[in-house]
Structure 1
Amino acid sequence: MPKMGSHARCRPSLPGLFLPLLLLLTPSAAAPTTKPYINSTADYSTECKTCPHSLCTNKQYYISGDSLNATCWTRGTKIAGDTLWLRTEAGCYVTQYDIAEYDGDYTAVLEYCGKDSEGEDLTEEDGTLQYKTECRICPDLQCDVVAYLPEETDVTLTCWTDEGQTVIDDPIWLKTRNNCYVAEIGLYSKPDTTYLDNCGPIPFLEIELHNNENVTSEVDKRNAFPEPVIHSPHYLINVTVGEDFAYCRDRPDVSGKIEKRYPFNSEVWLQCLVENNGTWWSETTDFCYVKNSDFWESPEGDYYRNPLCAYFGEPPS
């Protein structure tokens, strides 16, 4: 007859045997959980960049309402007080400022893209402006003017595009370290684009939604424009002389010294406008002034919307 209690010794209780194993198999409640992506939409047109900085080239862009998946987060140019950027399923980066607000913390839910993702890889080439130049937020004459740059201004060019609006006979625009685009025609010499990256696809942008003044890192900071631009003026407009001669003077005044004389029906390229005692004058690409009444067209009219010369300030000494 077995001894009392021998059965218990031969078959230990199940909880005593399996409890440590169950503890090992049960995930800790404190362990973080990450998602492979977070779905979002673009609030308005935004550039998806090859690196998380405003000067980086574009891989693609999203327009308002476009869906995208954010797959990881990183740090880049400060936009609206925040350095957080997101990599999308397309393998490019958007600032979180440009997409729908997320009710949560991207850094807690998505993986970090890695330290290498924070780099800024740019190509650069120097250039000098030969004319007064409107530096625009995108390479089109309908895009807002970010900065008015006087002639002889040195600029650092970072990329090029031939998808811009043709000015005179040249469709190429270049992005500068002012984080805006200048038309190639305004430079003394054409840059060697073999040393510059292509800017990639560029959406139509508006300063109201993308002006980073005072909230962007110093290297990417844009020069402030003198006043809001309601209607973008045209650049280097072409007009025709309607008098026997149009006298181009060293200042916008009939008593000014005559620097050049344009004959009847000749084409003249204009940079900007000056009003003097009720008379409108235009500064030509020869850097002298002609009365607008000497042209067939009216450069000061609504059709042209040419900028005032005063916007550009004095050229560098």
Structure 2
Amino acid sequence: MGAFTPWLLFAVLFSQSAIAAIKPYIPTEAEYNTECKTCPRSLCPNQLYYGYYDPLNVTCWTHGTEIMGDDLWLKSEAGCYITQYDVLEYDGDYTTDLAYCGRASEIQELTLAPATLVYKTECRICPEINCDVVAYLNEDTDLDLTCWYPDGQLIIDDPFWLKTTNNCYIARKNLYLSTVPSLPDLDNCGPVPLLEIANHNNENGTSEVNKRADLGAMYLINVTVGEEYAYCRSCAAERCEVEKTYEFNEEVWLQCLENANYANGTSEWWSLTTDFCYMVNTDFWESPQGDYYRMPACERFEGDESGSPDDE
């Protein structure tokens, strides 16, 4: 065998140096509550999640959903993917210090099922009523659902929530019963941490961040009638047609609030019920605009900042 030439020797040394530069893993910590997913896409189910400053080792890098302007994702030693944005800043370059996870890592595989909303619904970044609102959706909105979560905020009598392709969660109770998908047809969403839009705005958002509720809004709350008879009307004014009559101490479920401003300069609060008619709030034992001050305004769902009757 002939002797190494200087060029061949340089090539071998360079190759060995490049291989040595690739690390088997890099230790880091989660900077925010974050999901670790089965693929590097925001719609993929969660395998687990990390809380603030939880330690983890990342073993390779790939590309996925753009989160806050960054589409680089890292594979945890647990075998799931976390966005680079959600870990502490690294004094280096993951794309040169770690191996590429491979083209197969960028493939998104989702289960999908159609459904339709029966009520006005807040689609939230996580399945709890204190999570940020991503979008306000009207009744009869058609959705594509990707996975289900069994332990969300109890809405009336149902703790199940489902994730939409807009990357937010809706309560199963808000769907037409005839359109509720069979859960075995969808993935389990996996564990979900408390998330914040400020740290997790991404390309799947359905509304501007500044349209979210500043306080965790509530919906489908129940109140009781405090009058002998209470009338549910076609619009939020006494002049409107009576569509339903409730009796004393009868339970009523509410969707949203409307502040009716009248031509004589007075105003009063009304609530839209799940029967899609309006009741004046003074007919209830509770005060929805007070006791339930975080209940959403109906105008958020309509995109109309006025929407109040102009006469009485």
TM norm. shorter chain > 0.5: yes
How far, CA to CA, are the matches of 2:110 and 2:43 in structure 1? 8
Deviation at 1:222, TM superposition (A): 2.8
Structural mapping, 1:246-257, within 5 Å: 246-257=230-241
Counterpart check, 1:298 vs 2:298: no
Q: 1:178, CA displacement in angstroms? A: 1.2
Q: Does 1:158 align with 2:146?
A: yes
User: C-alpha distance in 1, partners of 2:94/2:209?
Assistant: 34
Q: Provide the residue aligned with 2:271 in structure 1.
A: 282
Match of 1:234 in 2: 218
Matched, 1:313 2:298: no
Q: What is the Cα deviation at residue 227 of structure 1?
A: 2.9
On the 8 A contact 2:67/2:200 being kept in 1, the answer is: no
The residue aligned with 1:270 is 254
Q: C-alpha displacement at 1:78, in angstroms?
A: 1.3
Q: Which runs of 5+ in 1 are unaligned?
A: 1-16
Q: Max radius of gyration: which structure?
A: 1
Q: Is the counterpart of residue 45 in structure 1 residue 33 in structure 2?
A: yes
Bigger Cα displacement from structure 2, 152-161 vs 295-304: 295-304
* TM-score normalised over the length of structure 1: 0.88
Given that residues 226 and 311 in structure 1 are in contact (C-alpha distance below 8 angstroms), is that contact kept between their aligned partners in structure 2?
no
TM-fit CA distance, 1:80: 2.0
Find the aligned partners of 1:80 and 1:275 in 2 and give their Cα distance.
36
1:107 partner SS: helix
Which of 199, 212, 224 pairs up with 1:209? 199
Contact 2:134 2:212 in 1 (8 A): no
Contact between 1:245 and 1:263, CA under 8 Å: does it hold in 2?
Answer: yes
Letter of the aligned partner of 1:199 in structure 2?
Answer: C
After superposition, give the CA deviation of every residue in 1:159-206 in whole Å (9 maximum; x if it has no partner). Answer: 001111110000000000110000000000222111000000000011
Deviation at 1:221, TM superposition (A): 3.4
Find the counterpart in structure 2 of residue 68 from structure 1.
Answer: 56
Q: Which runs of 5+ in 2 are unaligned?
A: 262-266, 304-312
Q: Does 2:72 correspond to 1:102?
A: no
The sequence identity of aligned pairs, in percent, is: 57
AA of the residue aligned to 1:201: P
Distance 1:79 1:140 in 2: 22
CA positional deviation for 1:91: 0.1
Q: Within 5 Å, which residues of 2 pair with 1:21-60?
A: 27-29=12-14, 31-32=17-18, 33-60=21-48
Q: How many matched pairs?
A: 293
AA at the equivalent of 1:237: I
Q: Separation in 2 of the partners of 1:202 and 1:223?
A: 21
Deviation per CA, 1:196-245: give whole Å up to 9, x if none. Answer: 00000000011121122xxx2xxx33333663422112110000000011
Residues 221-277 of structure 1 deviation map (CA, whole Å, 9 limit, x = unaligned): 333366342211211000000001110000000000000001111000000001112
